[in-house]
Amino acid sequence: MTIKGSCVCGGVRFELFEPPALMGACHCSRCRKAGSAAYVYVRAEALHWLAGRALLTRYKPRPPFRFTRAFCKRCGTAFGDPETGRVVAIAASCLDDDPGVRATFHEYAPDEAPWAHGCEDAMFGPK
């Protein structure tokens, strides 16, 4: 199973050579402001960069925060923390294919945005 991912401008592209072990959603303000709160977790060895790795720029936060964030320099797409550790966190929003897993946990649930659960009755429009 190969899962492809990319940024908005297409400059950064990657593949996952195995399905993610799990998916989770973080509701902290930092994840929301970074543009993604859902992450898939995969072994670092399963991530292969196809193009644009040099386009990634990183934001390293000050303590007590510890997760480095990677973004495309051209379009700003958030990739999560794809280069730290043996298991890496990839923003689910940059996956082009269905990862085959769904969120099984929520972090910082008390910090969830008040508007996060207001769309259940919203209309769905065509593309």
Delineate the domains of the chain, giving CATH numbers in brackets: 3-111 (2.170.150.70)
What is the structure's pLDDT at 80?
A: 84
User: Coil, helix or strand for 49?
Assistant: strand
What is the structure's pLDDT at 2?
A: 94
Digitized pLDDT (tens) for each residue of the chain, 127 residues in all: 899 999 999 999 999 999 999 999 888 777 777 766 789 999 999 999 999 999 999 988 888 777 788 999 999 998 888 767 788 889 999 999 999 999 898 887 777 777 766 666 666 667 6
What is the sign, positive or negative, of the torsion defined by CA atoms of 42, 47, 53, 55? Answer: negative
Whole-model pTM? Answer: 0.82
Pairing of strands 78-81, 87-91: antiparallel
Burial class of 69 by CB neighbour count within 10 A (0 to 12, 13 to 18, 19+): buried
